[in-house]
Amino acid sequence: MDGHPSKAEILAALSLALDLVEGQPEGHAVRTCAIALKLADLIGFNEFERQDVYYAAILKDSGCSNNSVRIQKIFGGDEFISKRAVKTVDWTSPLASIRFAFEYTERGNGWGAKLRRMAANIGPPNAVMNQVTLARCTRGAMIARKLGFGETVAEAVHQLDEHWDGKGSPHGIKGRDLNPVGQLICLAQTAEVFAVTYGIPAAMEMVRERSGRWFDPELARAFLSLEEDTAFWNAFGAAHYRGIVPPGLRDAAAEADIDAICEAFAMIVDAKSSFTAEHSARVAGYAAGIGSQMGLGNDRMSLLTRAGLLHDIGKLAVSTAILEKPGKLDEAEFAAVQSHPMHSFVILQRIAGFDSIAEIASGHHERLDGKGYWQGLGADHLPLETRIMTVADVYDALSAKRPYREALPYEKCRAIMDADAGTAFDPECLEALWQSLESVPLAA
């Protein structure tokens, strides 16, 4: 590693990727965290409780990619638009949820397409959204546990959309039975969306109206006390992922923690599409196999593995409608896909010490002849680790099922890739891949 970021800082920086999945403006989770920590101070949380608030707020959307395919199939079109809009609607109201469904189902298409799509969904709009919320919250809680956090954080993530009156989702928990951190973050998240979308006065009015329904009245009063706190709202508007880390969470992350974060975000990325399950873990494994064959040392192997796990994090910015499209992509859709390595670079290079990981991860579609993307780099500008990553990624793409074709057998993958040795792929890296695959049994 080039530096020593804290676990809290790494997660805060990676939360910017989760903002992309939810269709929210960059910094949504960080700003939510700023509101949540302020509320925690106002109601007297101690240092350790504030730490739980921090991690739960930063990880609140860690299950969001798990429902991307489902939401896209429910509403059609670009799921980012539906996800962004649903946060401004009182979807617990049957009338509001029906209006939302009519507006956002097959948005931009005719009534026939809307009605056909709506008829294909089972149950009323709010019941359908409960199913989506259950998938998201269950997955998010699992991610929190994988990262080593306790049940307070995991339950807070799981109860993010539960409401004070018991009419929230997915289980209808109410009142004092609610996880207090989850209830706090529910208010903070909703207030952030309204403040950014409509302005601070609109956020205040929303909290007043939903006090006692969505939100604990005590929490609502604490939030409303901030109405004239100009200093807080100025800081809120400029909230930065490094600046919000509480003092007790600034120690350098252990190597095992960094590995766990990379593994967790690989799971988040791969859940974005039904065709990429475990893709990132396989790419990391193939890259490690190549690196081992080429005699790379422990530090370089660690970089390879982490870059492999995170190489597609930029795909969180690409609509599921594009990732799942069974036919040929049009020019705009292909441009969106080609942008994902750039997004990977932008996300990862913000983390102190992740410069090398960002370079390797974002280079997985570059070619030796300079005809790749996103930068069009040629052989002279492609380090060995990037060449390895390219080979590992393409092999997995060919050998796995995709929306537009079935998985290709090993012999076909090898023939295709060997034909591009020296132009797209480094011949030595290719040979190391074949050697590494031949040293272990091939999957049927």
- Model pTM above 0.95: no
Closest CA to 210 of 107, 91, 326: 91
The pair of three-digit structure tokens given for residue 183, joined into one six-digit string: 């209830």
Q: pLDDT tens string for the chain (444 positions)?
A: 445 799 999 999 999 999 998 889 999 999 999 999 999 999 999 999 999 999 999 999 999 887 776 676 677 767 777 777 778 878 777 777 777 776 767 776 777 776 676 666 655 556 666 777 888 899 999 999 999 999 999 999 999 999 999 999 889 999 999 999 999 999 999 999 999 999 999 999 999 999 999 999 999 999 999 999 999 999 998 878 778 899 899 999 999 999 999 999 999 999 888 777 789 999 999 999 999 999 999 999 999 999 999 999 999 999 888 888 888 899 999 999 999 999 999 999 999 999 999 999 999 999 999 999 999 999 999 999 999 999 999 999 999 887 778 889 999 999 999 999 999 999 999 999 999 998 765 543
- Cβ-Cβ contacts under 8 Å for 404 (sequence gap 6 or more): 325, 326, 327, 328
DSSP 273-315: STT-TTHHHHHHHHHHHHHHHTT--HHHHHHHHHHHHHTTGGG
DSSP 65-97: GGGHHHHHHHH-S-HHHHHHHHTTS-TTSHHHH
Q: Which residues pair with 402 in a beta bridge?
A: 405
- Provide φ and ψ at 215, rounded to 5°: -120, 145
Catalytic center residues: 315
Query: In which residue are the tokens 């009338």 written?
Result: 95
**Quick one: pLDDT at residue 327?**
84
DSSP 224-264: HTTTT-HHHHHHHHT--TTTTS-GGG-SBPPHHHHHHHHHH
- Cβ atoms of residues 249 and 54 within 8 Å: yes
- Cβ atoms of residues 80 and 19 within 8 Å: no
- Rounded to whole angstroms, the Cα distance separating 167 from 214 reads 8
Query: In degrees, to the nearest 5, what angle opens at C-alpha 277 toward C-alphas 272 and 279?
Result: 100
The pair of three-digit structure tokens given for residue 261, joined into one six-digit string: 């974060």
Q: Which amino acid is at 378?
A: G
**End-to-end Cα distance, the chain:** 37
- Rounded to whole angstroms, the Cα distance separating 59 from 185 reads 11
**Quick one: pLDDT at residue 387?**
98
